Structure 1
Amino acid sequence: MAKSVADAPYLIAPDPAAPRLTRQVTGVDHTGATIPMSVIEERPLTIFLNGAEIVTAMTIGDYPEYLALGFLRNQGMLKDGETVKAVEYDDELETVVVRTDSATTYEEKLKKKTRTSGCAVGTVFGDMMEGLQGMTLPAAELRSSWLYALADRINRTPSLYLESGAIHGTVLCCRDRPLVYMEDVGRHNAVDKIAGWMLSEGVGAADKILYTTGRLTSEMVIKTALMGIPVLASRSGFTAWGVEIAEQVGLTLIGRMRGRRFVCLSGADRLIRDADWSAVAEEPAGSGRKGAGRS
């Protein structure tokens, strides 16, 4: 049975001071002045499944077990009913080995795939599209007051992005409450970490909202749908195929969510406008996440 986390505070949140995630460097600005800077670390993580090397991801290095599980789950390599027997991370070798009760290695299967140019980890597209056949997501309630509350709470949460920039964030939310906040150099990595956490903790998806700082592309929409999450929201914009797939599976899609503004391009009939948008404060310049003036 899926766990109920609706009344929980942040279960996981970024720690800008975490060791090994950033490095202090010295640069020179446009005036010639010397300035200290914090920059994001980037390191490889190789994921193995039942003895087969699946992929090497470039990642910041936190929550490697969640990233591995979520990547395998979102690529359709961990099937429903398949039991994960072990997830073993080796810090020195920079590997995660996932072992299940299946004898399939997926090695030959992967050789026949074509990878797209995803962000940090490419996406094996075939099985993901197949997984959407006949899918209809639950028609979850969504209130505009939740969106405004989430945007405000997420923007006030300490993060690696506000510390160093050059990073994406993804937040799993329940109603107006952020639950799990993950960051990484690629938006796909951040989403996969969320998926891995949900799989590890047995947390259900039917009443959740997924927030991302990244673009609402077809790959992001597909991953959200395969996770069973009925609402996807972002600070950024849309692609046409992302909107088309969202409409196909019944995913509520919210983009350009900043301050009092947002746009719904799929599922507008499921959105309850219960907040006076004119009473919502505009987002102060430079206070928000990626897409709000920093790169």
Structure 2
Amino acid sequence: MSKEITTSQNIVRYNGQSFIEEEDDIAVESALTIMVNGEEFATMVCTPSELEELVVGFLASEGMIRAFQDIKALHIDVETGFAYVDLVNPNKVEKDFHSKRFIGSCCGKGRQFYFQNDVKTAKTIMTRFTITPEQCHKLMKQMQDGSSHFQQTGGVHNAALCSSDGVVISRSDIGRHNALDKLFGYCLIHRVPIKDKIIAFSGRISSEVLLKAAKIGVGIILSKSAPTNLAINLADELGITAVGFIRGKGFNVYTHQDRIQGLEYKPVQTSCI
């Protein structure tokens, strides 16, 4: 059983000349509380879809599990908004975590534990997998065209796990970090090989988004938007190729340019006057 991910709302739309009353599709925002070994671990605000993937990916991202097999039991009560998780190692929560957490839907605000376990869980990426500029544009377009949820509501972020041939799996959520956790959970549950995969992402590449990509283990992240300076620093340090502003015919490559075929990177020369 799953909740509806959209709802209808009567609105008044202005079309530039007049006001029109009509019905509009709105993205649903729902709370999910994760109970781990009987203890309240986190409450997140999310789109109520692919919740098993979300829980698994979130726990892996926070260092609670390394593989899907580390979970002894997982039950999600959609109606009450609770996920009940039993870990194989029952001492993990008590040993490593000391406070309840609330994860909002907006870019990490309200996350009391930011960077707490990133050193343990972020991977340095060593893959030599490369893609062409044409593939960068193709994958971004496939990710955007395939998001019916965004096209219906305009209120969600999209993330897609891709191979060089196309989108493997795509997920949407009101929280961009949630969309990435759903991808991570999918990979763990289905044991998807990561070394030749790419993430296409609809939003800006923040430090949190970059760290999520590192924890998943991909070497290339594509976005139609911009990265932050901290994200660029982390991408450089963790060996990830960050590509932003994929719009029209162009894009910007910020780090590890050697994974983009045909790009002969030369540092910008400055002249002294």
Q: Same fold (TM over 0.5)?
A: yes
Provide the TM-score with structure 2 as the length reference. Answer: 0.85
Match of 2:20 among 23, 33, 43: 33
Q: What is aligned with 1:240?
A: 229
Instruction: Report the 3-state secondary structure (helix = DSSP H, G, I; strand = E; otherwise coil) of the residue aligned with 1:197.
Output: helix
- Sequence identity, in percent? 26
Whether the 8 Å CA contact 1:231–1:253 is kept in 2: the answer is yes
Match of 1:52 among 39, 42, 47: 39
Q: Partner letter of residue 4 of structure 2?
A: R
Whether the 8 Å CA contact 2:45–2:104 is kept in 1: the answer is no
Task: Give, in whole Å, the separation in 2 of the partners of 1:224 and 1:236.
Answer: 16
Deviations 1:166-222 (A, max 9, x none): 110000001131011100001000000000010100111111001111211111111
Whether the 8 Å CA contact 1:210–1:231 is kept in 2: the answer is yes
Instruction: Report the 3-state secondary structure (helix = DSSP H, G, I; strand = E; otherwise coil) of the residue aligned with 1:198.
Output: helix
Give the gaps of 5 or more residues in structure 1: 1-17, 275-295
Task: Give, in whole Å, the separation in 1 of the partners of 2:100 and 2:42.
Answer: 12
Task: Give, in whole Å, the separation in 2 of the partners of 1:73 and 1:36.
Answer: 40
Task: Give, in whole Å, the separation in 1 of the partners of 2:247 and 2:55.
Answer: 31
Q: CA deviation at 1:46?
A: 0.9
Seen in structure 2, the aligned counterparts of structure 1 residues 131 and 91 have a Cα distance that, compared at 3 Å, is: closer
Whether the 8 Å CA contact 1:59–1:120 is kept in 2: the answer is no
Deviations 1:108-140 (A, max 9, x none): 64336998977376364221134348x343222
Please state if 1:20 is matched with 2:4. Answer: yes
Deviations 1:209-247 (A, max 9, x none): 011112111111111111111111111101001001101
Whether the 8 Å CA contact 1:57–1:120 is kept in 2: the answer is no
Q: What is aligned with 1:288?
A: none
Match of 2:115 among 113, 117, 125: 125
Match of 1:210 among 193, 196, 199: 199
5 Å matches for 1:1-295? 20-30=4-14, 31-79=18-66, 83-107=70-94, 109-111=96-98, 119=106, 122=111, 124-132=114-122, 135-273=124-262
Q: Partner letter of residue 84 of structure 1?
A: I
Whether the 8 Å CA contact 2:43–2:103 is kept in 1: the answer is no
Which structure has more relative contact order (CA 8 Å, sep 6+)? It is 1
Whether the 8 Å CA contact 1:59–1:185 is kept in 2: the answer is yes
Whether the 8 Å CA contact 1:114–1:124 is kept in 2: the answer is no
Whether the 8 Å CA contact 2:172–2:179 is kept in 1: the answer is yes
Q: Partner letter of residue 245 of structure 1?
A: L
Q: CA deviation at 1:82?
A: 5.9
Task: Give, in whole Å, the separation in 2 of the partners of 1:180 and 1:81.
Answer: 18
Instruction: Report the 3-state secondary structure (helix = DSSP H, G, I; strand = E; otherwise coil) of the residue aligned with 1:69.
Output: helix
Whether the 8 Å CA contact 1:139–1:250 is kept in 2: the answer is no
Seen in structure 2, the aligned counterparts of structure 1 residues 28 and 80 have a Cα distance that, compared at 3 Å, is: closer
Seen in structure 2, the aligned counterparts of structure 1 residues 132 and 105 have a Cα distance that, compared at 3 Å, is: closer
Equivalenced residues, count: 256
Task: Give, in whole Å, the separation in 2 of the partners of 1:25 and 1:80.
Answer: 41
Whether the 8 Å CA contact 1:232–1:252 is kept in 2: the answer is yes
Q: What is aligned with 2:269?
A: none
